[in-house]
Structure 1
Amino acid sequence: MVLPDTLNRPSVLIAARSPHDRFALADMLSPLYALELAGTTQEAWVCLGTQGLPDLVLLDEDFSEDSPSVFCKQWKALPATRTIPVIVLRGQGSTVTESLAAELGIDECLVKPVDPTALRHSVAHQLQLSAAVRATKSGRSNLEQEIDQRSREISILKEIAVLTMASLAEIRHLETESHARRTQNYVMALADHLASHRRFADQLDPEARALLRNSVPLHDIGKIGVPDAILLKAGPLSPDEREIMKTHTTLGRDAIQRAEDRLGVHVPFLAVIKELTYCHHERWDGHGYPEGKAGDDIPLSARLMAVADVYDALITRRVYKEPMSHDQVVAYIEAKRSTDFDPDITDAFVQMQAKFRDISNRFSRAGESSH
């Protein structure tokens, strides 16, 4: 039975077997709430099906032939109703103890005969608590959505910043156009291939690969500091010029370090960029630059970059040389296994060389190269 509601008030389901008790409770609450009355368990569930969910259930312990725990268990088991508060009215010597009430999820127990003022206070209190919980959940959901959105925006902005800075180096050296994109794809193809390798699995988890992907385009950022006469020279570099060109590794690392120091931040993303810019010309046997690091002392990011960088440099055209064929480049890199390049990374490159060729073809343009 549903009592009329014209004020869109909170709804309360009164479940009591005795008609006298149902209407007595209704009299106590009717000025404040929209009421649904049920004399049996079946009537209670019918009310839910026809009138929608109430905001609160007021349950007399004599409501059904079974213990009120049966109804409460069913009520709290359903996802749609488990958060709706339940107040149980119990008599002296009731089987509904405080511990059982907590176990069943009953929100409050009142002893019969109930005082009208106490009943109204309890109902109002439970409705306020329920509303606060819903508001908190809604707020948390909205906050989580906003955080996710902001995280996506920050990720996009970071990628834009990386590509913009990489483009600055390429603008000064037009022959390297798309070099950053190609090497990024080469490195990520290697990283994905080696992610399950016993030597590299703990260093190439999804988070590490994401950092690597965003860092690779900046490996040559230090070339911004190389004089135009050397960077744009139409031909091979002299020994002195080559030494100056080598400083792009240190220039790139130091520029990022100064930015970190000035901002007072040290983050994994920038740490990987520093590794790449500084160490991507180191060689496995220690004859690279700028420090002559060898073997596993060279950061993994730089060892991956070394293969990608050399492949791209050899397969693209320069003003003073024609590009090598894919097969020639593969043979060259394979011959440098354990001298220039990490042997396991070299083996991975040979196994997946077709992927490198596809990337090169997809991003290549006439006249591209890199010193």
Structure 2
Amino acid sequence: MDEFNLQYRRTILVVDDTPSNLVVLNAILKDQYKLRIATHGQLALELAQRDPIPDLILLDVMMPDIDGFEVCRRLKANPLTAEIPVIFLTAKIQESDEIEGFDVGAADYIHKPLVPAIVLTRVKTHLQVQDLKTALRMHNHTLEERVVERTAELLKMQNATIMAMGVMAEMRDEETGLHLKRTQEYLRLLASAVADNPRFSPELTPENIEWMAKSAPLHDIGKVGIPDAILHKPGKLSEEEFAIMKHHPRYGRNIIHEVERVVGEGSVFLRYAREIAYGHQEKWDGSGYPEGLQGDEIPIAARLMALADVYDALLSRRVYKPPFSHEMAVKIIVEGRAKHFDPDLVDAFLTIADQFNQIAIEYADPDDQGVDDMQIAYNH
């Protein structure tokens, strides 16, 4: 049985010139994956081309002779190894270093000192992304062969795939597909309500609104990179745990960016998906994350998603609170005007708040029945 399991394990190439780091990575990964070990860049380039081609490469940045950036650059230039996801291992924390890594083709970064749970989660996530990319290539091939007679059917499949990817993240956070449907409808409704506003009209065409709505279910796709112990913790997160949680927009952006690299960066849908995944936790006054963007620096798709997501969270049951009433949710959103939310979006929301409530009722989770305002005020 063990030999059978070993035969079908994924292969990971680990590259690091420090023996102690290799010992740590071997201990973390050996029970789940086949490992190839390289202690310098030239050996890594040779091992990456051996059959079977590795499923993923963990690559140290700082190495003598050939550093990790150059190794990655050469891997991406070789058709045989170009599609292997590369995760950099580094003690560098400067944004400029990360940008250089992504520029040469890296899929992600893991910062040293290495944390086993994060290493395992990140490896698992990028192997899942690689599987999705493979499935997407097959899907695109099918599209090319059958585009005339099966356009309508394949469009339904595409929408279902988008929703399934979103559910993959939401299920780990104990959310439901109904949450995805509600936020999708909230975003579409709110975007349509402000489409005539001169601030938004150039971007919010009917076609773009539809693309934004379709991409909304992917807003929390980055949560697949967060350890279960943090996602499912019933109490308040510690500062260290919240710091890890705050990485999920970046993980989401990186996942979608990987898909863009396969299908091309001209996809309007994927651009909106990336903007929403990366920017939906930003706040109008600059107090959000991950970039602390302010005002119009935040993409409009992300600003729309922020309001839709918060409204739904307020009306939903959580381990730390009961579901809030619609009236209390409206009150809290108004309090966030020009702080958390774009003031023009809040003003438009007030004119269509009853329609938001109707969407909440139509797609309500069975357990999310609002409680009275006195109880809400007490809990809030």
TM-score by length of 1: 0.57
Amino acid at match of 1:166: G
Q: CA deviation at 1:173?
A: 2.5
Relative distance call for 1:254 and 1:312 in structure 2 (3 A) is same
Aligned to 2:315: 315
Q: Deviations over 1:231-284 (max 9, x none)?
A: 111222222211211111000100111222245554111111000000001111
Q: Number of residue pairs matched? A: 224
Give distance in 2, aligned partners of 1:174 and 1:226. 13
Aligned to 1:353: 353
Amino acid at match of 1:171: M
Give distance in 2, aligned partners of 1:179 and 1:242. 22
Q: Deviations over 1:72-99 (max 9, x none)?
A: xxxxxxxxxxxxxxxxxxxxxxxxxxxx
CA contact (8 A) 2:186 2:308 kept: yes
Give distance in 2, aligned partners of 1:356 and 1:190. 9
Q: CA deviation at 1:229?
A: 0.4
Aligned to 2:325: 325
In structure 1, list runs of 5 or more residues that go unmatched. Answer: 1-145
Is the counterpart of residue 218 in structure 1 residue 218 in structure 2? yes
Q: Deviations over 1:304-342 (max 9, x none)?
A: 011111111111111121122111111111111111110
Q: CA deviation at 1:157?
A: 2.5
Q: Deviations over 1:115-167 (max 9, x none)?
A: xxxxxxxxxxxxxxxxxxxxxxxxxxxxxxx8665443442222111011011
Give me the identity figure in percent.
44
Aligned to 2:294: 294
Amino acid at match of 1:242: F
Aligned to 1:203: 203
Give distance in 2, aligned partners of 1:318 and 1:325. 14
Give distance in 1, aligned partners of 2:305 and 2:203. 15
Q: Deviations over 1:3-50 (max 9, x none)?
A: xxxxxxxxxxxxxxxxxxxxxxxxxxxxxxxxxxxxxxxxxxxxxxxx
Amino acid at match of 1:159: N
Give distance in 1, aligned partners of 2:366 and 2:243. 28
Aligned to 2:91: none
Aligned to 1:182: 182
Amino acid at match of 2:172: R
CA contact (8 A) 2:315 2:368 kept: no
Relative distance call for 1:325 and 1:362 in structure 2 (3 A) is same
CA contact (8 A) 1:175 1:368 kept: no
Aligned to 1:365: 365
Relative distance call for 1:341 and 1:247 in structure 2 (3 A) is same
Measured on the aligned residues, the alpha-carbon RMSD in Å equals: 1.9
Q: CA deviation at 1:225?
A: 1.1
In structure 2, list runs of 5 or more residues that go unmatched. Answer: 1-145, 370-380
Give distance in 2, aligned partners of 1:262 and 1:205. 27
Moved more, 194-203 or 288-297: 194-203
Give distance in 1, aligned partners of 2:192 and 2:288. 26
Moved more, 170-179 or 317-326: 170-179
Give distance in 2, aligned partners of 1:240 and 1:360. 34
CA contact (8 A) 1:253 1:278 kept: yes
**1:82-161 paired onto structure 2 within 5 Å:** 149-161=149-161
Moved more, 202-211 or 254-263: 254-263
Give distance in 2, aligned partners of 1:271 and 1:368. 33
Amino acid at match of 1:348: A
CA contact (8 A) 1:175 1:367 kept: no
Aligned to 1:246: 246
Q: Which of these two proteins has the greater Rg computed from alpha carbons?
A: 1
Amino acid at match of 2:192: D
Aligned to 1:282: 282
